[in-house]
Structure 1
Amino acid sequence: MNTQFKLEKLDLCGCSITEKQCLILTSALKSNPSHLRELNLSYNELLGDSGVKHLSDLLMNTQFKLEKLHLCGCSITEKQCLILTSALKSNPSHLRELNLSGNQIKNTGVNHLCDVLKDSRCKLERLSLRYCDITDVSLTNTKALQFLKKLDLRENMIGDSKQKLIDVLRDTNCKLRV
């Protein structure tokens, strides 16, 4: 009888997870990374720099085949977004859905995400960036939108970027529909 534990979905939304607890969690997930497909750590504002770093280390593991990652309202900064996107660049092929809504990633964070989206190995289909203090969207390149099917930018003041994005969406090769 196989007694191996095969966790596919882990929802720890609003559990007040601290940086130290994030280290413990990611260490546990590293010991058996191949089965988890969905991780929700939303509304855990205490992850901090080291928590995001430990999560990023986990995302870089090629055996970690996470498809959905939800980090809404985790107080993620532009700097922490860079750490996350660096990890996603090193292992971009499994993640299909990323929700960073309610974080302070701003324009710099979006630019880092665009770099990930331009990678031909990136298969991200859903990206949620509501309430992220974004004023400029650099997603005006069809290569960056090649697999993206849903982009949520509500509650941001994107101004002139909105028209640029609409123009890109007119491209017949673009699958994105908002």
Structure 2
Amino acid sequence: MSIHVHFRAVAVSEIQEDHTWLAAYLAKAWDDHADECAAGIATSIPKVWHFVEDLYAAAADLVGRGAGEPWTLPIHGGRPVAHGAGADLHDPPMIFMDPPEVARAADFLTAVSFDALWNVAGGRLGGAGPQEALSKEEYLEHHESLRSFYARAASSGHAVVKVVWA
């Protein structure tokens, strides 16, 4: 089974925060995914997105947060887009990030050191033994893709809509 988290940047004025409308919009965007990625308005992470989240969670250790302090990952922010009346419960979950949240995610990804994150979390993510170089390269590619995607979206003042395709 192929599962992806699809990130799509969009001007707030061009979308509706309606699940049915967004599902159709994002399905078309997914059909055009390669072109949209090349244009810098989309990216995706296959299957391993929860491991990518674990990589970024290592930032909490790097900034020395105290016990009980909240920690949230800006790239996983946003608010769920509620399913409308009569929606199919199998419709994909969607998250909407407004432009200020997108800017926070871009700032986070620009400021965080991939190597420092890898030093903290890499061993838990397959970063040990003979496959370490391949694992590290895979996560670095995800990091660079997200960093450049969010930077472009933030500089354009765009929102980001995320959807999980299964």
TM-score range, shorter chain: under 0.3
Higher helix share: 2
After TM superposition, the score normalised by the length of structure 2 is 0.26
After TM superposition, the score normalised by the length of structure 1 is 0.24
Higher strand share: 2
